[in-house]
Structure 1
Amino acid sequence: MVATFFSRIQWSGLIAALVGLGYCAFGASGGAEALCVTEGCALFKGASIFGLSVWWWGVGAFATVGLLYLAGLKDQARTLAILLLLADAGFLLVLAFSATCISCLGAALCFFLLFLVVAAPWRKGSGAARVVLVIWLACLTPNVALAAQEAASPWPIHGNPNAPVQVIFSPTCSHCQAVVKSLLLDSPENVAFFPVAKNDEEREMIRGLLGELQDETPLVAFERMFTGTAEPMELGWWEDTGLSFRLFRNRVALLRIGSNTVPVTLIRGEFSFGDSGGLSEGWTGGLFGGCNEESEEDCDE
Protein backbone atom coordinates (compact mmCIF):
# COMPACT_ATOMS: atom_id res chain seq x y z
CA MET A 1 0.00 0.00 0.00
CA VAL A 2 2.79 2.41 0.91
CA ALA A 3 4.69 1.43 -2.22
CA THR A 4 1.60 2.11 -4.32
CA PHE A 5 1.21 5.57 -2.72
CA PHE A 6 4.78 6.60 -3.50
CA SER A 7 4.63 5.21 -7.02
CA ARG A 8 1.71 7.56 -7.77
CA ILE A 9 3.68 10.66 -6.87
CA GLN A 10 5.42 12.51 -9.66
CA TRP A 11 8.42 13.68 -7.73
CA SER A 12 9.30 16.44 -10.17
CA GLY A 13 6.11 18.32 -9.36
CA LEU A 14 6.62 17.91 -5.61
CA ILE A 15 10.24 19.04 -5.87
CA ALA A 16 9.22 22.13 -7.87
CA ALA A 17 6.66 22.99 -5.19
CA LEU A 18 9.28 22.56 -2.44
CA VAL A 19 11.75 24.80 -4.29
CA GLY A 20 9.16 27.58 -4.52
CA LEU A 21 8.11 27.06 -0.91
CA GLY A 22 11.72 27.28 0.28
CA TYR A 23 12.41 30.44 -1.71
CA CYS A 24 9.29 32.19 -0.42
CA ALA A 25 10.13 31.17 3.15
CA PHE A 26 13.59 32.64 2.58
CA GLY A 27 11.94 35.83 1.34
CA ALA A 28 9.63 35.96 4.34
CA SER A 29 12.70 35.88 6.60
CA GLY A 30 14.11 38.93 4.81
CA GLY A 31 16.84 37.07 2.96
CA ALA A 32 15.63 37.71 -0.58
CA GLU A 33 15.17 41.45 0.05
CA ALA A 34 18.68 41.72 1.46
CA LEU A 35 20.11 40.35 -1.79
CA CYS A 36 17.87 42.53 -3.97
CA VAL A 37 19.65 45.39 -5.73
CA THR A 38 16.81 47.15 -7.58
CA GLU A 39 14.53 50.02 -6.54
CA GLY A 40 11.43 47.84 -6.55
CA CYS A 41 12.82 45.87 -3.61
CA ALA A 42 12.40 48.88 -1.33
CA LEU A 43 9.05 49.77 -2.91
CA PHE A 44 7.51 46.35 -2.31
CA LYS A 45 9.30 45.60 0.95
CA GLY A 46 6.70 44.60 3.52
CA ALA A 47 3.94 44.30 0.89
CA SER A 48 0.98 42.35 2.24
CA ILE A 49 -2.47 41.12 1.27
CA PHE A 50 -5.12 41.14 4.00
CA GLY A 51 -2.36 41.80 6.51
CA LEU A 52 -0.26 38.80 5.49
CA SER A 53 3.09 39.20 3.72
CA VAL A 54 3.05 38.29 0.02
CA TRP A 55 5.94 35.95 0.78
CA TRP A 56 3.75 33.90 3.14
CA TRP A 57 1.02 33.84 0.51
CA GLY A 58 3.64 32.35 -1.80
CA VAL A 59 4.54 29.74 0.82
CA GLY A 60 0.87 28.82 1.08
CA ALA A 61 0.44 28.62 -2.70
CA PHE A 62 3.39 26.29 -3.24
CA ALA A 63 2.45 24.20 -0.20
CA THR A 64 -1.09 23.78 -1.56
CA VAL A 65 0.16 22.53 -4.92
CA GLY A 66 2.52 20.14 -3.15
CA LEU A 67 -0.27 18.78 -0.94
CA LEU A 68 -2.53 18.29 -3.96
CA TYR A 69 0.22 16.25 -5.55
CA LEU A 70 0.65 14.16 -2.45
CA ALA A 71 -3.09 13.52 -2.41
CA GLY A 72 -3.03 12.39 -6.03
CA LEU A 73 -5.19 15.35 -7.18
CA LYS A 74 -3.05 16.16 -10.19
CA ASP A 75 -5.77 17.85 -12.25
CA GLN A 76 -6.49 20.26 -9.39
CA ALA A 77 -2.76 20.87 -8.93
CA ARG A 78 -2.43 21.59 -12.66
CA THR A 79 -5.31 24.08 -12.60
CA LEU A 80 -3.88 25.84 -9.57
CA ALA A 81 -0.42 26.06 -11.17
CA ILE A 82 -1.94 27.74 -14.23
CA LEU A 83 -3.90 30.22 -12.09
CA LEU A 84 -0.82 31.02 -10.03
CA LEU A 85 1.23 31.83 -13.14
CA LEU A 86 -1.61 34.03 -14.41
CA ALA A 87 -1.72 35.88 -11.08
CA ASP A 88 2.05 36.27 -11.21
CA ALA A 89 1.74 37.76 -14.70
CA GLY A 90 -0.52 40.42 -13.23
CA PHE A 91 2.04 41.18 -10.54
CA LEU A 92 4.83 41.37 -13.14
CA LEU A 93 2.73 43.86 -15.10
CA VAL A 94 2.51 46.06 -12.00
CA LEU A 95 6.29 45.81 -11.57
CA ALA A 96 6.90 46.76 -15.20
CA PHE A 97 4.94 50.00 -14.77
CA SER A 98 6.36 50.87 -11.34
CA ALA A 99 9.78 49.51 -10.35
CA THR A 100 11.20 46.08 -11.02
CA CYS A 101 12.24 43.84 -8.15
CA ILE A 102 14.87 41.12 -8.56
CA SER A 103 13.72 39.12 -5.54
CA CYS A 104 10.19 39.18 -6.99
CA LEU A 105 11.56 37.90 -10.29
CA GLY A 106 13.10 35.03 -8.36
CA ALA A 107 9.65 34.09 -7.09
CA ALA A 108 8.31 34.45 -10.64
CA LEU A 109 10.84 31.91 -11.87
CA CYS A 110 9.71 29.51 -9.14
CA PHE A 111 6.10 29.84 -10.32
CA PHE A 112 7.32 29.29 -13.88
CA LEU A 113 9.19 26.11 -12.88
CA LEU A 114 6.12 24.82 -11.08
CA PHE A 115 3.98 25.63 -14.11
CA LEU A 116 6.28 23.79 -16.53
CA VAL A 117 6.44 20.68 -14.39
CA VAL A 118 2.81 20.50 -13.25
CA ALA A 119 0.85 22.08 -16.13
CA ALA A 120 3.06 20.70 -18.95
CA PRO A 121 1.91 23.29 -21.54
CA TRP A 122 3.47 21.31 -24.42
CA ARG A 123 0.97 18.48 -23.99
CA LYS A 124 -2.03 18.03 -26.25
CA GLY A 125 -5.12 19.84 -24.97
CA SER A 126 -3.11 22.43 -23.03
CA GLY A 127 -4.25 25.45 -25.04
CA ALA A 128 -5.23 27.47 -21.96
CA ALA A 129 -1.85 26.80 -20.35
CA ARG A 130 -0.03 27.98 -23.47
CA VAL A 131 -2.05 31.21 -23.59
CA VAL A 132 -1.19 31.91 -19.95
CA LEU A 133 2.47 31.17 -20.69
CA VAL A 134 2.52 33.71 -23.54
CA ILE A 135 0.93 36.36 -21.28
CA TRP A 136 3.43 35.64 -18.51
CA LEU A 137 6.43 35.86 -20.86
CA ALA A 138 5.14 39.17 -22.25
CA CYS A 139 4.96 40.57 -18.72
CA LEU A 140 8.32 39.10 -17.69
CA THR A 141 10.40 40.45 -20.58
CA PRO A 142 10.34 44.18 -19.70
CA ASN A 143 11.09 43.36 -16.07
CA VAL A 144 14.19 41.37 -17.00
CA ALA A 145 15.42 44.22 -19.22
CA LEU A 146 14.81 46.83 -16.51
CA ALA A 147 16.39 44.67 -13.79
CA ALA A 148 19.51 44.08 -15.90
CA GLN A 149 19.85 47.78 -16.58
CA GLU A 150 19.37 48.78 -12.96
CA ALA A 151 21.62 46.04 -11.57
CA ALA A 152 24.45 47.39 -13.71
CA SER A 153 24.02 50.97 -12.47
CA PRO A 154 25.96 52.39 -9.50
CA TRP A 155 24.47 52.35 -6.00
CA PRO A 156 24.04 55.52 -3.93
CA ILE A 157 24.43 55.09 -0.19
CA HIS A 158 22.65 58.42 0.22
CA GLY A 159 20.64 60.58 -2.17
CA ASN A 160 18.58 60.11 -5.30
CA PRO A 161 20.42 57.95 -7.87
CA ASN A 162 19.27 60.42 -10.55
CA ALA A 163 20.50 63.50 -8.68
CA PRO A 164 22.10 66.17 -10.90
CA VAL A 165 25.34 65.98 -8.90
CA GLN A 166 26.90 62.60 -8.06
CA VAL A 167 30.05 62.00 -6.04
CA ILE A 168 32.09 58.80 -5.97
CA PHE A 169 34.12 58.74 -2.76
CA SER A 170 36.26 56.58 -0.53
CA PRO A 171 35.95 56.54 3.30
CA THR A 172 39.69 57.04 3.92
CA CYS A 173 40.13 59.90 1.45
CA SER A 174 40.60 63.27 3.19
CA HIS A 175 39.83 65.15 -0.03
CA CYS A 176 36.57 63.22 -0.30
CA GLN A 177 35.65 64.38 3.19
CA ALA A 178 36.02 68.03 2.17
CA VAL A 179 33.94 67.55 -0.98
CA VAL A 180 31.16 65.63 0.79
CA LYS A 181 30.92 68.16 3.63
CA SER A 182 30.83 71.08 1.22
CA LEU A 183 28.00 69.57 -0.81
CA LEU A 184 25.94 68.54 2.22
CA LEU A 185 26.13 72.11 3.51
CA ASP A 186 25.51 73.75 0.14
CA SER A 187 22.82 71.75 -1.66
CA PRO A 188 22.14 68.33 -0.08
CA GLU A 189 18.93 67.72 -2.01
CA ASN A 190 20.77 67.83 -5.36
CA VAL A 191 23.54 65.34 -4.68
CA ALA A 192 23.98 61.58 -4.36
CA PHE A 193 27.00 59.81 -2.87
CA PHE A 194 28.44 56.55 -4.22
CA PRO A 195 31.02 54.78 -2.03
CA VAL A 196 33.87 52.57 -3.20
CA ALA A 197 36.02 50.37 -0.97
CA LYS A 198 39.44 48.95 -1.76
CA ASN A 199 39.88 46.91 1.43
CA ASP A 200 38.08 45.50 4.47
CA GLU A 201 38.78 48.62 6.55
CA GLU A 202 36.85 50.78 4.11
CA ARG A 203 34.04 48.23 3.93
CA GLU A 204 33.72 48.44 7.72
CA MET A 205 33.58 52.23 7.55
CA ILE A 206 30.84 52.07 4.92
CA ARG A 207 28.89 49.69 7.15
CA GLY A 208 29.30 52.28 9.89
CA LEU A 209 27.86 54.94 7.59
CA LEU A 210 24.85 52.74 6.83
CA GLY A 211 24.07 52.53 10.54
CA GLU A 212 24.62 56.23 11.21
CA LEU A 213 22.35 57.27 8.32
CA GLN A 214 19.48 55.48 10.04
CA ASP A 215 19.77 57.57 13.20
CA GLU A 216 21.62 60.77 12.37
CA THR A 217 21.55 63.58 9.83
CA PRO A 218 23.65 62.94 6.71
CA LEU A 219 26.20 65.57 7.75
CA VAL A 220 26.77 63.94 11.15
CA ALA A 221 26.71 60.42 9.69
CA PHE A 222 29.37 61.16 7.06
CA GLU A 223 31.52 63.04 9.57
CA ARG A 224 31.54 60.04 11.91
CA MET A 225 32.42 57.71 9.06
CA PHE A 226 35.34 59.84 7.86
CA THR A 227 36.69 60.20 11.42
CA GLY A 228 36.34 56.46 12.04
CA THR A 229 33.93 56.84 14.98
CA ALA A 230 30.93 55.18 13.32
CA GLU A 231 30.13 51.75 14.71
CA PRO A 232 29.84 49.20 11.83
CA MET A 233 26.27 48.12 11.23
CA GLU A 234 25.55 44.46 11.93
CA LEU A 235 24.69 42.65 8.70
CA GLY A 236 23.69 39.06 8.04
CA TRP A 237 25.70 37.08 5.52
CA TRP A 238 23.07 37.70 2.82
CA GLU A 239 23.02 41.45 3.54
CA ASP A 240 26.80 41.56 3.50
CA THR A 241 26.79 39.77 0.14
CA GLY A 242 24.35 42.35 -1.19
CA LEU A 243 26.60 45.18 0.05
CA SER A 244 29.61 43.61 -1.65
CA PHE A 245 27.72 43.47 -4.94
CA ARG A 246 26.62 47.11 -4.62
CA LEU A 247 30.17 48.25 -3.94
CA PHE A 248 31.35 46.20 -6.92
CA ARG A 249 28.85 48.05 -9.12
CA ASN A 250 30.27 51.36 -7.91
CA ARG A 251 33.81 50.21 -8.64
CA VAL A 252 32.76 49.25 -12.17
CA ALA A 253 31.14 52.67 -12.62
CA LEU A 254 34.40 54.33 -11.54
CA LEU A 255 36.41 52.29 -14.04
CA ARG A 256 33.93 53.06 -16.81
CA ILE A 257 34.60 56.74 -16.28
CA GLY A 258 38.25 55.96 -16.89
CA SER A 259 39.51 56.71 -13.39
CA ASN A 260 40.98 54.80 -10.49
CA THR A 261 41.02 57.83 -8.22
CA VAL A 262 38.51 59.55 -5.95
CA PRO A 263 36.74 61.84 -5.42
CA VAL A 264 35.02 61.96 -8.78
CA THR A 265 32.16 64.39 -9.30
CA LEU A 266 29.64 63.82 -12.07
CA ILE A 267 27.32 66.62 -13.18
CA ARG A 268 24.59 65.58 -15.63
CA GLY A 269 26.84 63.18 -17.49
CA GLU A 270 30.06 65.21 -17.22
CA PHE A 271 32.68 64.66 -14.56
CA SER A 272 35.59 66.33 -12.82
CA PHE A 273 38.22 65.11 -10.39
CA GLY A 274 39.29 66.42 -7.05
CA ASP A 275 38.30 69.24 -4.76
CA SER A 276 35.54 71.73 -5.28
CA GLY A 277 34.55 74.91 -3.59
CA GLY A 278 30.89 73.92 -3.56
CA LEU A 279 27.95 73.41 -5.86
CA SER A 280 27.19 77.13 -6.07
CA GLU A 281 30.62 77.74 -7.60
CA GLY A 282 29.81 75.52 -10.58
CA TRP A 283 31.79 72.45 -9.59
CA THR A 284 34.51 73.13 -12.09
CA GLY A 285 36.87 71.01 -10.01
CA GLY A 286 40.65 70.88 -9.94
CA LEU A 287 43.12 68.65 -11.68
CA PHE A 288 43.93 66.68 -8.54
CA GLY A 289 42.82 63.10 -9.05
CA GLY A 290 42.10 62.38 -5.41
CA CYS A 291 43.03 59.17 -3.59
CA ASN A 292 44.84 56.73 -5.80
CA GLU A 293 44.56 52.99 -5.15
CA GLU A 294 48.20 52.59 -6.14
CA SER A 295 49.43 55.27 -3.73
CA GLU A 296 48.34 55.64 -0.13
CA GLU A 297 49.89 59.10 0.34
CA ASP A 298 47.07 61.05 -1.31
CA CYS A 299 44.47 59.40 0.88
CA ASP A 300 46.24 60.13 4.15
CA GLU A 301 47.19 63.75 3.69
Structure 2
Amino acid sequence: MPGMENQTKTGDSGRFGVPLAALAGVLLCVTQALGYGEEMCLTQGCALHEGTTVFGLSLWWWGAGTFAGLFALGLLGRTAWTRLAALACLAVDVVFFAIMALTAPCLTCLAAGGLFFLVLLAAVRPFAASGRLVRGVVLAWFLALTPNLFAAAQELATPWPAAGPETAAVRLYFSPTCPACRDAVAAMSRLGKPFIGFFPIAGSEEDVQLIARTLEGMRSGLSLPDALTRSGEAKPVAVDLSLRWRLLRNKVAYLRGRPDGVPHLQINGWPRRWDTLEVF
Protein backbone atom coordinates (compact mmCIF):
# COMPACT_ATOMS: atom_id res chain seq x y z
CA MET A 1 0.00 0.00 0.00
CA PRO A 2 1.31 3.53 -0.78
CA GLY A 3 0.62 4.77 2.73
CA MET A 4 2.54 1.87 4.32
CA GLU A 5 5.52 2.42 1.99
CA ASN A 6 5.73 6.04 3.05
CA GLN A 7 5.54 5.06 6.71
CA THR A 8 8.30 2.48 6.29
CA LYS A 9 10.65 4.94 4.61
CA THR A 10 9.98 7.54 7.24
CA GLY A 11 10.56 5.00 10.00
CA ASP A 12 13.92 3.97 8.55
CA SER A 13 15.18 7.57 8.39
CA GLY A 14 14.20 8.28 12.01
CA ARG A 15 15.16 4.86 13.39
CA PHE A 16 18.06 6.24 15.40
CA GLY A 17 16.90 9.83 15.91
CA VAL A 18 13.74 8.87 17.79
CA PRO A 19 15.39 6.56 20.38
CA LEU A 20 18.28 8.95 20.99
CA ALA A 21 16.03 11.99 21.56
CA ALA A 22 13.66 9.91 23.70
CA LEU A 23 16.52 8.47 25.77
CA ALA A 24 17.81 12.00 26.42
CA GLY A 25 14.29 12.89 27.57
CA VAL A 26 14.18 9.95 29.97
CA LEU A 27 17.51 10.93 31.51
CA LEU A 28 16.46 14.58 31.86
CA CYS A 29 13.12 13.76 33.49
CA VAL A 30 14.51 11.14 35.89
CA THR A 31 17.32 13.50 36.92
CA GLN A 32 14.81 16.25 37.65
CA ALA A 33 12.36 13.91 39.41
CA LEU A 34 15.09 12.67 41.77
CA GLY A 35 16.19 16.23 42.55
CA TYR A 36 19.67 15.92 41.05
CA GLY A 37 19.18 18.52 38.32
CA GLU A 38 18.29 21.60 40.35
CA GLU A 39 21.49 23.35 39.25
CA MET A 40 20.44 22.90 35.62
CA CYS A 41 17.51 25.28 35.93
CA LEU A 42 18.34 28.91 36.55
CA THR A 43 14.89 30.48 36.20
CA GLN A 44 12.22 31.13 38.82
CA GLY A 45 9.67 29.02 36.99
CA CYS A 46 11.50 25.87 38.09
CA ALA A 47 10.60 26.45 41.74
CA LEU A 48 7.07 27.43 40.73
CA HIS A 49 6.31 24.34 38.65
CA GLU A 50 8.49 21.65 40.25
CA GLY A 51 5.78 20.65 42.73
CA THR A 52 3.09 20.22 40.07
CA THR A 53 1.54 16.73 40.15
CA VAL A 54 -1.08 14.86 38.17
CA PHE A 55 -2.92 12.14 40.13
CA GLY A 56 -0.29 12.48 42.84
CA LEU A 57 2.64 11.87 40.50
CA SER A 58 5.23 14.50 39.56
CA LEU A 59 5.13 15.80 36.01
CA TRP A 60 8.74 14.68 35.67
CA TRP A 61 7.80 11.06 36.30
CA TRP A 62 4.99 11.37 33.76
CA GLY A 63 7.54 12.78 31.35
CA ALA A 64 10.00 9.96 32.03
CA GLY A 65 7.29 7.37 31.35
CA THR A 66 6.23 9.13 28.16
CA PHE A 67 9.77 9.36 26.84
CA ALA A 68 10.32 5.70 27.74
CA GLY A 69 7.27 4.80 25.66
CA LEU A 70 8.56 6.86 22.73
CA PHE A 71 11.95 5.17 23.12
CA ALA A 72 10.34 1.72 22.87
CA LEU A 73 8.25 2.72 19.84
CA GLY A 74 11.36 4.08 18.17
CA LEU A 75 13.33 0.89 18.73
CA LEU A 76 10.46 -1.20 17.36
CA GLY A 77 10.18 1.03 14.30
CA ARG A 78 6.54 1.86 14.94
CA THR A 79 6.78 5.15 13.12
CA ALA A 80 3.07 5.87 12.76
CA TRP A 81 2.48 5.33 16.49
CA THR A 82 5.60 7.32 17.37
CA ARG A 83 4.44 10.20 15.20
CA LEU A 84 0.98 10.19 16.78
CA ALA A 85 2.32 9.97 20.35
CA ALA A 86 4.93 12.71 19.81
CA LEU A 87 2.28 14.93 18.23
CA ALA A 88 0.02 14.45 21.26
CA CYS A 89 2.91 15.30 23.61
CA LEU A 90 3.64 18.46 21.65
CA ALA A 91 -0.03 19.47 21.80
CA VAL A 92 -0.01 19.06 25.60
CA ASP A 93 3.22 21.07 25.69
CA VAL A 94 1.47 23.95 23.94
CA VAL A 95 -0.90 24.25 26.90
CA PHE A 96 1.92 23.94 29.44
CA PHE A 97 4.07 26.51 27.60
CA ALA A 98 1.12 28.91 27.48
CA ILE A 99 0.73 28.59 31.28
CA MET A 100 4.44 29.26 31.75
CA ALA A 101 4.26 32.28 29.46
CA LEU A 102 1.60 33.74 31.77
CA THR A 103 3.51 32.86 34.96
CA ALA A 104 7.26 32.15 34.81
CA PRO A 105 9.41 30.07 32.43
CA CYS A 106 11.02 26.83 33.57
CA LEU A 107 14.25 26.24 31.65
CA THR A 108 14.38 22.46 32.07
CA CYS A 109 10.68 22.20 31.15
CA LEU A 110 11.46 24.02 27.92
CA ALA A 111 14.32 21.58 27.32
CA ALA A 112 11.96 18.61 27.78
CA GLY A 113 9.55 20.18 25.32
CA GLY A 114 12.40 20.62 22.88
CA LEU A 115 13.15 16.90 23.10
CA PHE A 116 9.50 16.08 22.31
CA PHE A 117 9.87 18.24 19.23
CA LEU A 118 13.06 16.42 18.21
CA VAL A 119 11.28 13.07 18.55
CA LEU A 120 8.49 14.30 16.28
CA LEU A 121 10.98 15.77 13.82
CA ALA A 122 12.82 12.43 13.63
CA ALA A 123 9.57 10.52 13.17
CA VAL A 124 8.15 12.82 10.48
CA ARG A 125 10.54 12.93 7.54
CA PRO A 126 10.53 14.78 5.29
CA PHE A 127 8.80 17.39 7.46
CA ALA A 128 7.66 19.35 4.39
CA ALA A 129 5.48 16.38 3.44
CA SER A 130 3.74 16.25 6.82
CA GLY A 131 0.04 16.98 7.08
CA ARG A 132 -1.69 20.18 8.10
CA LEU A 133 -2.36 18.87 11.60
CA VAL A 134 1.33 18.28 12.27
CA ARG A 135 2.34 21.68 10.90
CA GLY A 136 -0.44 23.38 12.83
CA VAL A 137 0.59 21.83 16.16
CA VAL A 138 4.26 22.64 15.52
CA LEU A 139 3.37 26.25 14.68
CA ALA A 140 1.30 26.57 17.88
CA TRP A 141 4.19 25.02 19.85
CA PHE A 142 6.67 27.57 18.52
CA LEU A 143 4.25 30.42 19.20
CA ALA A 144 3.92 29.26 22.82
CA LEU A 145 7.67 28.64 23.13
CA THR A 146 8.82 32.06 21.89
CA PRO A 147 7.60 34.25 24.81
CA ASN A 148 9.08 31.74 27.26
CA LEU A 149 12.48 31.99 25.60
CA PHE A 150 12.38 35.79 25.76
CA ALA A 151 11.27 35.72 29.41
CA ALA A 152 14.02 33.23 30.31
CA ALA A 153 16.65 35.31 28.52
CA GLN A 154 15.45 38.41 30.33
CA GLU A 155 15.61 36.63 33.69
CA LEU A 156 19.09 35.25 33.03
CA ALA A 157 20.41 38.71 32.10
CA THR A 158 21.49 39.48 35.67
CA PRO A 159 22.42 43.10 36.46
CA TRP A 160 26.05 44.17 36.68
CA PRO A 161 27.40 46.24 39.61
CA ALA A 162 30.02 48.95 39.18
CA ALA A 163 30.88 48.27 42.84
CA GLY A 164 29.73 45.62 45.30
CA PRO A 165 28.65 42.00 44.79
CA GLU A 166 26.50 40.83 41.86
CA THR A 167 24.17 39.12 44.33
CA ALA A 168 23.86 42.20 46.54
CA ALA A 169 20.87 42.10 48.87
CA VAL A 170 20.61 45.88 48.65
CA ARG A 171 20.91 47.34 45.16
CA LEU A 172 21.14 51.02 44.34
CA TYR A 173 20.35 51.87 40.72
CA PHE A 174 21.72 55.28 39.79
CA SER A 175 22.31 57.56 36.84
CA PRO A 176 25.55 59.61 36.62
CA THR A 177 23.65 62.75 35.52
CA CYS A 178 21.27 62.67 38.49
CA PRO A 179 22.40 64.88 41.44
CA ALA A 180 20.26 62.92 43.90
CA CYS A 181 21.89 59.72 42.64
CA ARG A 182 25.38 61.03 43.39
CA ASP A 183 24.23 61.94 46.90
CA ALA A 184 22.74 58.47 47.34
CA VAL A 185 25.92 56.76 46.12
CA ALA A 186 28.02 58.82 48.55
CA ALA A 187 25.69 58.12 51.48
CA MET A 188 25.40 54.39 50.82
CA SER A 189 29.16 54.07 50.23
CA ARG A 190 29.91 55.57 53.64
CA LEU A 191 27.98 52.72 55.27
CA GLY A 192 30.66 50.28 54.13
CA LYS A 193 28.25 47.34 54.09
CA PRO A 194 29.31 44.24 52.11
CA PHE A 195 25.75 43.52 50.97
CA ILE A 196 25.29 46.81 49.06
CA GLY A 197 25.75 46.91 45.29
CA PHE A 198 25.83 49.96 43.02
CA PHE A 199 24.27 49.45 39.60
CA PRO A 200 24.61 52.25 37.01
CA ILE A 201 22.00 52.77 34.33
CA ALA A 202 22.29 54.90 31.20
CA GLY A 203 19.46 56.79 29.56
CA SER A 204 21.60 58.62 27.02
CA GLU A 205 24.97 58.52 25.32
CA GLU A 206 26.16 61.12 27.83
CA ASP A 207 25.35 58.72 30.67
CA VAL A 208 27.28 55.94 28.94
CA GLN A 209 30.35 58.16 28.58
CA LEU A 210 30.18 59.34 32.21
CA ILE A 211 29.89 55.76 33.46
CA ALA A 212 32.90 54.76 31.34
CA ARG A 213 34.89 57.66 32.84
CA THR A 214 33.77 56.65 36.34
CA LEU A 215 35.05 53.11 35.78
CA GLU A 216 38.32 54.50 34.47
CA GLY A 217 38.66 56.61 37.62
CA MET A 218 37.96 53.58 39.82
CA ARG A 219 40.67 51.63 38.00
CA SER A 220 43.11 54.42 38.83
CA GLY A 221 42.35 54.04 42.54
CA LEU A 222 39.44 56.38 43.20
CA SER A 223 36.39 55.31 45.17
CA LEU A 224 33.06 55.11 43.35
CA PRO A 225 31.71 58.41 44.79
CA ASP A 226 34.92 60.30 43.95
CA ALA A 227 35.17 58.78 40.47
CA LEU A 228 31.52 59.61 39.83
CA THR A 229 31.98 63.20 40.97
CA ARG A 230 35.06 63.73 38.77
CA SER A 231 33.62 61.96 35.72
CA GLY A 232 32.23 65.21 34.33
CA GLU A 233 35.71 66.75 34.22
CA ALA A 234 37.60 63.69 33.02
CA LYS A 235 38.76 63.18 29.45
CA PRO A 236 36.53 61.16 27.10
CA VAL A 237 37.28 57.44 27.03
CA ALA A 238 36.47 54.67 24.57
CA VAL A 239 33.27 52.76 25.24
CA ASP A 240 33.29 49.09 24.23
CA LEU A 241 30.34 46.83 23.45
CA SER A 242 30.75 44.84 26.65
CA LEU A 243 30.01 47.94 28.76
CA ARG A 244 26.96 48.75 26.64
CA TRP A 245 25.72 45.17 27.09
CA ARG A 246 26.18 45.36 30.87
CA LEU A 247 24.35 48.68 31.03
CA LEU A 248 21.52 47.21 28.98
CA ARG A 249 21.23 44.33 31.47
CA ASN A 250 21.08 46.87 34.31
CA LYS A 251 18.37 48.86 32.59
CA VAL A 252 16.26 45.75 31.99
CA ALA A 253 16.58 44.73 35.65
CA TYR A 254 15.82 48.30 36.75
CA LEU A 255 12.68 48.56 34.61
CA ARG A 256 11.53 45.12 35.73
CA GLY A 257 11.13 46.56 39.25
CA ARG A 258 8.62 49.16 37.93
CA PRO A 259 10.50 52.11 39.50
CA ASP A 260 9.24 55.69 39.72
CA GLY A 261 12.69 57.10 38.98
CA VAL A 262 16.30 57.21 40.11
CA PRO A 263 17.90 56.75 42.52
CA HIS A 264 16.10 53.46 42.99
CA LEU A 265 16.84 51.29 46.03
CA GLN A 266 15.95 47.61 45.77
CA ILE A 267 16.08 45.24 48.76
CA ASN A 268 16.08 41.48 48.14
CA GLY A 269 15.33 39.61 51.37
CA TRP A 270 16.85 40.86 54.62
CA PRO A 271 20.63 41.27 54.87
CA ARG A 272 22.08 39.10 57.65
CA ARG A 273 24.55 41.75 58.80
CA TRP A 274 22.09 44.61 58.78
CA ASP A 275 23.00 46.28 62.04
CA THR A 276 20.24 48.84 62.35
CA LEU A 277 17.44 50.48 60.45
CA GLU A 278 19.23 53.78 61.01
CA VAL A 279 21.34 53.02 57.93
CA PHE A 280 18.73 55.03 56.07
Alignment TM-score > 0.5, same fold:
yes
CA distance in 2, matches of 1:90, 1:158: 36
How far residue 12 of structure 1 moved from its aligned partner, in angstroms, is 1.6
Deviations 1:229-288 (A, max 9, x none): xxxxxxxxxxxxxxxxxxxxxxx68x969xxxxxxxxx8663499xx997778x5xxxxx
Contact 1:121 1:129 in 2 (8 A): no
Structure whose alpha-carbon radius of gyration is higher: 2
Who is 2:39 aligned against?
34
For the structure 1 residues 157 and 48, does the alpha-carbon distance in structure 2 shift closer, same or farther, using more than 3 Å as the test? farther
1:45 and 2:50 matched: yes
Give the corresponding residue for 2:119: 114
Task: Using the TM superposition, give the Cα deviation of residue 33 of structure 1 relative to its aligned residue in structure 2, in angstroms.
Answer: 2.9
- CA distance in 2 between partners of 1:77 and 1:272 (Å): 54
Secondary structure of 1:46's aligned partner: coil
Partner of 1:134: 139
Which segments of 5 or more consecutive residues in structure 2 lack a partner in the other structure?
1-10, 161-165, 174-188, 199-245, 252-258, 266-273
Structure 1 residues 1-301: aligned runs within 5 Å? 10-120=15-125, 122-154=127-159, 166=171, 175-177=191-193, 270-271=262-263, 283=280
Per-residue CA deviation, residues 109-160 of structure 1 (Å, 9 max, x unaligned), is 111111211234724242211110000000000000111001113499697x
Amino acid at match of 2:86: A
Distance 1:32 1:89, change over 3 A: farther
Amino acid at match of 1:43: L
C-alpha distance in 1, partners of 2:263/2:16?
57
Q: Partners of 2:129 and 2:66 in 1: how far apart?
A: 26
CA gap of 1:83–1:279, structure 2 versus 1, over 3 A, is: same
* Counterpart-to-counterpart distance in 2, 1:102 and 1:114: 19
Give me the whole-angstrom Cα distance separating, in 1, the residues matched to 2:72 and 2:193.
58
Separation in 1, partners of 2:197, 2:51: 26
Q: Which letter maps to 1:31?
A: Y
Matched-pair contact (CA < 8 Å) for 1:102–1:147: yes
Q: 1:107 to 1:125 in 2, by over 3 A?
A: closer
Q: How big is the shift at 1:13?
A: 1.3
Task: Please say if residues 90 and 117 of structure 2, whose CA atoms lie closer than 8 Å, have aligned partners that are also in contact.
Answer: yes
| CA displacement, residues 26-83 of structure 1 (integer Å, 9 cap, x when unaligned) | 2112233323222211111222111111111111111101112223322111100100
Aligned partner of residue 171 in structure 2, secondary structure: strand
Q: Cα gap change, 1:277/1:68 in structure 2, threshold over 3 Å: closer, same or farther?
A: closer
Give the partner amino acid of 1:270: V
- Distance in 2 of aligned mates of 1:158 and 1:166: 6
Q: Cα gap change, 1:279/1:54 in structure 2, threshold over 3 Å: closer, same or farther? A: same
Matched-pair identity in %: 33
Gaps (5+ residues) in structure 1? Answer: 1-6, 160-164, 181-192, 196-251, 258-266, 284-301
| Pair 1:157–1:50, CA change in 2 (3 A) | farther
- Contact kept, 8 Å, 1:154 with 1:194, in 2: the verdict is no
One-letter amino acid of the counterpart of residue 13, structure 1? V
**Root-mean-square deviation (CA), in Å?**
4.0
Q: Could you tell me which amino acid in structure 1 is paired with residue 140 of structure 2?
A: I
**Cα distance 1:27–1:256, how it changes in 2: closer, same or farther (>3 A)?**
same
Q: 2:37 aligns to what SS in structure 1?
A: helix
Mean Cα deviation higher: 134-143 or 99-108: 99-108
Q: Which residue of 1 aligns with 2:182?
A: none
